[in-house]
């Protein structure tokens, strides 16, 4: 009977899975447990390069270029801003094509003027369309502007000087608006080229808008002191 009980206990022990308890690793200085030292972080060594004539130099960090800047020699920041300002409903490709065709027409017209001019007058004819474009925008930039300021319950138009970016915006806006307001029987690139050439020669409706804008600022010169209030 006793042997039968012992054999049953052995079989029961064999069927029960063994449970193993793990002791957590202590961080203290207990016996048998050594505190591990943290390894110092390895710093990268400063690399030095031998330059010209044995003079040591180190590479400098260079700031990355903006995404709107192009390393091409044909890139023009003013033309790119003009394209973005003329764009409607995100159709940038169409706006870029219109501006490029307008510059091409300006080139052809200026070459015709250059061929018909006398020898002593050919030096005064500008053939580069980008130079014509830059001068046309520069001629349409307003010298002074005005802003609305409320004083004593009244709104006054106070003349204020504009930064260059604001002046460029007004000039481009007037050129685009006057080109769009012309007869729609002609294509947009033809109208834009005519307006750019007129502004280059100090003529056209865009230049008249600039003069009217400056005249309004000049007429309100009596309220200029409100700008510092």
pLDDT tens-place string over residues 112-164: 999 998 888 888 888 999 999 999 999 999 988 887 778 778 888 888 888 89
pLDDT tens-place string over residues 75-115: 888 999 999 999 999 899 999 999 999 999 999 999 999 99
Rg (C-alpha) for the chain, rounded Å, is: 39
């Amino acid at each position: 009977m006793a042997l039968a009980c012992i054999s049953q206990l052995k079989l029961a022990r064999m069927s029960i899975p063994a449970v193993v308890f793990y002791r957590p690793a202590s961080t203290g200085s207990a016996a048998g447990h050594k505190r591990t030292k943290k390894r110092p972080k390895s710093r990268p060594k400063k690399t030095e390069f031998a330059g010209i004539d044995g003079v040591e130099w180190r590479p400098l960090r260079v700031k990355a270029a903006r995404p709107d800047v192009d390393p091409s020699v044909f890139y023009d920041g003013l033309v790119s801003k003009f394209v973005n300002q003329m764009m409607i409903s995100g159709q940038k490709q169409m706006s870029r094509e219109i501006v490029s065709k307008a510059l091409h027409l300006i080139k052809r017209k200026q070459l015709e003027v250059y061929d018909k001019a006398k020898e002593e007058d050919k030096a005064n004819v500008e053939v580069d369309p980008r130079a014509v474009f830059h001068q046309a925008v520069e001629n349409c930039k307003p010298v002074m502007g005005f802003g609305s300021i409320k004083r004593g319950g009244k709104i006054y138009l106070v003349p204020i000087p504009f930064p260059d970016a604001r002046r460029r915006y007004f000039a481009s806006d007037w050129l685009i608006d006057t080109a769009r307001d012309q007869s729609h029987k002609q294509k947009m690139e033809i109208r834009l080229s005519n307006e750019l050439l007129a502004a280059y020669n100090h003529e056209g409706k865009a230049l008249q808008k600039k003069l009217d804008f400056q005249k309004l600022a000049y007429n309100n010169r009596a309220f200029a002191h409100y700008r510092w209030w």
